[in-house]
Structures are given as structure tokens and as C-alpha cells.
């Protein structure tokens, strides 16, 4: 269900003919070394739905650890995100999957210099893909331990993945306070609680590495304290 490296490339090739941006993404993908190796510094990923505090927490952790902050999709292709968001689901997912492999080469380089903090990575691509392709309730998702929840063998793996969660009503209040234009997926999350539940449960079923859940409903200071404790416990700092 989730386009990996090979399938992502194949889909990019197919759509490059009628989506000019796809050719540019494919060019960047081809320049990435096949097997990325992590440097000596820890790599920590933050996952979660919009308005769970990822932007605030990742910036604070980056400042505290004197780290490098990266995002998915990476900056070099993020300007094409809106173009691909309007495409059919397989093409859209191929864009995000390719973005993860391009991001991996940035992580490999950055992790030789400082701790790397990432705002979304593979787990987001996988969770949203699974939740979109499966309709119905959480029970209709592929069973736990299904291969769709496995990290791709050829993608650079982080040291720690933290899943930020907040109460659904609190998350909606935060979104309303922000007053930003909603993405299609965010509108779907708000309108369809089953979709939100499928996304969150998919995150929880990810393995190798699994997500460590963090309740992000508390104050910014408390959440940062919890997150830093987890990073120091699981990573060599």
C-alpha cells in the first residue's frame, strides 16, 4: 500500500511525462546514494496529527540540543507539495515516499555534524496512506504485525520516533486558534473521526522502529521536559 523506493521511482517515471515537477523530483532522487548511513549523532523523529505541537517542540528540542532541524517533505521539493496534493492518491503518495528517500540523504549528512531533529518522516507517509486506502473503522485496518507497518529496509532509520498526541477536542481548538487554511487531509481529519482514528492507530502499529507516544496536552515546558528525558534515555547524548 505504501510506495517504497522502487515503486516510488516507477510511479515518478510514469507521471513525469505529464507532471513537470515529477521529473525534477526524480532527478533529485537519482542523485541520492542507494544506502544511506547515519552519522555519529542521534536522529529523532516527531510524528503526529496537525496541531499536536510538532512545530513548537521540534524547534525547542533543536535549540536545546544545538541540533539540525529537518522536515518531510524536505525543503528542496516542498515547493511542489501543493501540485502533488491535487494529484490522484498513488501519485501523491509517490511524491511523499520519494521525499523520504531524498530526506534520508540530508539526514545522513547532518547526523555527522549534530543531533538531527525531524518533523515527520516515513511513519506519516505510511499512516496516512493506510488510513486513506482502508475505509471504515479501526477494526478494518490490516492486522497488527502486517508488513505495511514495517519500516522499509532500504531507508535510513532514526534512533527514536516520538508520536505527539492530544485530546481530539483540544486539537480542534488549537487548529481554530491558529486560523490557518486547512490542508485537504486536515479537513478530512476534522470531518471524519473514523479517518483520524485510522491514522492514529496506524501510527501505533508501526514497528522497527515503533513510535513512543507522548501526551502533548500539557504545557509547552512540560512536553519539552518529557521529550528531552526520552531522548536522553534512548539516545547517546
**Contact assessment for residue 44 and residue 231, using Cβ atoms and an 8 Å cutoff:** yes
5, pLDDT greater than 50? no
| Cα dihedral across residues 182, 100, 210, 149: positive or negative | positive
195, pLDDT greater than 50? yes
Write down the pLDDT at residue 190. 56
Write down the pLDDT at residue 17. 55
Highest mean pLDDT among 104-108, 130-134, 216-220: 104-108
What's the whole-number mean pLDDT along residues 230-234? Answer: 94
Q: Where are the alpha helices (DSSP H) in the chain?
A: 5-16, 20-31, 54-65, 75-78, 81-85, 89-110, 122-133, 168-178, 184-191, 193-205, 220-234
In a domain, 139, yes or no: yes
7, pLDDT greater than 50? no
Residue 50 lies in domain: 20-234
Write down the pLDDT at residue 50. 78
- Count of CB atoms within 10 A of residue 217's CB? 15
In a domain, 5, yes or no: no
In a domain, 69, yes or no: yes
pLDDT, tens digit (0-9, with 9 covering 90-100), for 29-73: 777 777 778 999 999 999 998 778 898 999 999 999 999 999 999
Write down the pLDDT at residue 43. 97
Distances (CA, A) of 202 to 3, 66, 220, 221: 16, 32, 26, 28
8, pLDDT greater than 70? no
Nearest to 90, CA basis, from 19, 141, 169, 183: 19
Nearest to 127, CA basis, from 98, 154, 163: 163
CATH number at residue 44: 3.40.50.300
Total domains in the chain come to 1
In a domain, 9, yes or no: no
Cβ neighbors of 86 (< 8 A, separation 6 or more) are: none
Residue 50 cell numbers, joined: 496537525
pLDDT, tens digit (0-9, with 9 covering 90-100), for 142-184: 999 999 999 999 999 999 999 998 876 766 676 666 655 556 6
| Cα dihedral across residues 62, 67, 68, 70: positive or negative | negative
Amino acid at each position: 500500500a505504501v510506495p517504497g523506493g522502487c515503486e516510488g521511482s516507477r510511479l515518478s517515471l510514469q507521471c513525469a511525462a505529464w507532471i513537470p515537477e515529477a521529473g525534477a523530483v526524480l532527478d533529485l532522487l537519482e542523485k541520492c546514494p542507494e544506502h544511506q548511513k547515519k552519522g555519529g549523532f542521534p536522529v529523532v523523529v516527531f510524528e503526529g496529527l496537525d496541531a499536536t505541537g510538532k512545530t513548537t517542540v521540534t524547534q525547542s528540542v533543536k535549540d536545546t540540543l544545538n541540533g539540525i532541524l529537518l522536515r518531510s517533505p524536505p525543503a528542496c521539493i516542498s515547493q511542489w507539495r501543493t501540485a502533488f496534493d491535487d494529484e490522484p492518491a498513488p501519485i501523491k503518495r509517490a511524491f511523499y515516499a520519494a521525499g523520504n528517500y531524498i530526506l534520508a540523504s540530508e539526514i545522513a549528512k547532518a547526523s555527522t555534524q549534530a543531533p538531527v531533529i525531524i518533523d515527520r518522516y516515513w511513519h506519516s507517509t505510511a499512516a496516512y496512506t493506510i488510513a486513506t486506502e482502508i475505509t471504515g473503522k479501526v477494526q478494518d485496518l490490516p492486522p497488527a504485525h502486517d508488513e505495511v507497518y514495517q519500516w522499509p529496509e532500504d531507508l535510513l532509520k532514526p534512533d527514536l520516533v516520538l508520536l505527539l498526541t492530544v485530546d481530539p477536542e483540544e486539537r480542534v481548538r488549537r487548529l481554530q486558534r491558529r486560523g490557518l487554511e486547512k490542508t485537504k487531509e486536515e479537513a478530512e481529519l476534522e470531518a471524519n473521526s473514523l479517518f483520524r482514528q485510522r491514522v492514529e492507530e496506524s501510527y501505533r502499529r508501526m514497528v522497527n522502529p515503533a513510535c513512543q507516544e507522548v501526551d502533548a496536552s500539557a504545557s509547552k515546558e512540560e512536553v519539552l521536559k518529557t521529550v528531552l528525558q526520552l531522548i536522553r534515555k534512548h539516545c547517546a547524548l
